[in-house]
Amino acid sequence: MILDTLPRFHLAEFPTPIQYLGVLTKKYNGPDIYIKRDDLTSLGMGGNKTRKLEFLIGEALEQGKDTLVTAGGIQSNHCRLTAVAAIKAGLECHLVLNGTKPEIPNGNLLLDKIFGAHLHFCDRKDRDKKLFQVGDELSLKGKKPYVIPVGGSNSIGSVGYVKAMQELTSQLNDMKATPDTIVFATSSGGTQAGLTLGAKITRFKGTVLGISIDQIKTGENSFPPVLAQIANDTAKRIGFDIQMTESDFSLNCDYLGNGYAMPGDLEWDAIKDLSFHEAILLGPVYTARAMGGLLDLIQKNYFTKNQTVLFWHTGGTPELFAWADQYSEKII
């Protein structure tokens, strides 16, 4: 493999810690619950997109680009971290955000502005078109834009989570711990594709289970083919001879609730559980939905009491502030 020779721009300190959630484990009477803290990556209030951006920006710099362009929702963690990473790399940053520009920015959007990103608002249906339109307009102005897909989820960004799986394996060996299942939030696909491919490479014997935030498992717009495509493109990029299929991916789509960025009781209860019992914050869009799913699965005896589960916290803390008006009713 050529994993360690790919262009990379250092953005954070790794490894991120693994912690045992003893109080939560006791409350739910097993299985043993551990957490991998990618919310503690040392860049712009943390989050998993930092791992992807190290490789995306590495390629952008190698190609002589001077501007990053990416897209997401108004509270996108990926967009916030892209804005911060651009500063570290000396690049300009443009963000295409689907939604209506609010009178007062909050959460990730406030940070986007603080970090000096150029913001472009649009309807969700126009986002992909607008992303490349902004790139083309910058080119006409003499800029050299590097366009990053939503979530940094392509074969370049996904390399970051192949590396992350290698990091986890080393930590688990030192701890002499063996999780039966790794659980995490999955949305645009790069994290799950990288972790699942990384599990193949490291010969991890457990299950790599993504709790879907906004994607479906079957039907016309099913998600597994996207995961397989990203993983196979990533394997080719790093020189790993494997062909993955849809059946290689474990995906739970039972917790979509009212839709993307529409938290309900599942998410509020998970935020309350982690904050009150473990002093750990979850974001209402991604990690609270995934943790809520995990806790529900525990209560449904999906795991046995003598098993071990590792929750991969992918970040999203700044999202909390954008839903402050709902916390007084749901949590406080």
Residue 324: the pLDDT is 87
Q: Is residue 152 pLDDT above 90, yes or no?
A: yes
Residue type, 103: E
Alpha carbon 332 to its chain's center: 27
Residue 141: band (very low, low, confident or very high) from pLDDT cuts 50, 70, 90 = very high
Residue 221: the pLDDT is 83
- Backbone φ/ψ region at 99: left (φ over 0), alpha (ψ -120 to 50), beta: left
- 212 assigned to active site: no
Average pLDDT, the chain: 96
What mean pLDDT is predicted for residues 201-221?
94
Write the pLDDT tens digit of every residue in 295-317: 999 999 999 999 999 999 999 99
As for how many domains the chain has, the answer is: 2
CATH number at residue 11: 3.40.50.1100
DSSP E strand stretches across 101-157 = 118-122, 145-147
Same domain, 106 and 28: no
- Domain finish residue from 102, 133, 152: 152
Same domain, 105 and 190: no
Q: From CA 233, how far away is CA 43, in angstroms rounded?
A: 27
Residue 331: the pLDDT is 65
Same domain, 56 and 14: no
Q: From CA 235, how far away is CA 243, in angstroms rounded?
A: 8
Q: From CA 301, how far away is CA 20, in angstroms rounded?
A: 20
- Domain finish residue from 152, 183, 214: 152
Same domain, 130 and 145: yes
Q: Which of 127, 176, 233, 154 is nearest to 20 (CA)?
A: 176
Write the pLDDT tens digit of every residue in 103-135: 999 999 999 999 999 999 999 999 999 999 999
Same domain, 164 and 89: no
Token match 């599942």: residue?
Answer: 266
Write the pLDDT tens digit of every residue in 56-105: 999 999 999 999 999 999 999 999 999 999 999 999 999 999 999 999 99
What mean pLDDT is predicted for residues 18-38?
97
What mean pLDDT is predicted for residues 187-209?
97
For 96, the 3-state DSSP assignment is strand
Cα dihedral sign for 274, 280, 281, 286?
Answer: negative
Catalytic residue among 76, 153, 158, 188: 76
Q: How buried is 221 (Cβ within 10 angstroms: 0-12 exposed, 13-18 middle, 19+ buried)?
A: exposed
Residue 326: the pLDDT is 82
Q: Is residue 332 pLDDT above 80, yes or no?
A: no
Same domain, 219 and 270: yes
Same domain, 102 and 159: no
- 95 DSSP β-pair partners: 70, 119
Residue 218: band (very low, low, confident or very high) from pLDDT cuts 50, 70, 90 = confident
Same domain, 184 and 291: yes
Structure tokens at 34: 């551990």
Residue 114: the pLDDT is 98
Residue 1: the pLDDT is 77
Range of the domain at 275: 3-47+154-330
Same domain, 287 and 188: yes
Residue 219: the pLDDT is 85
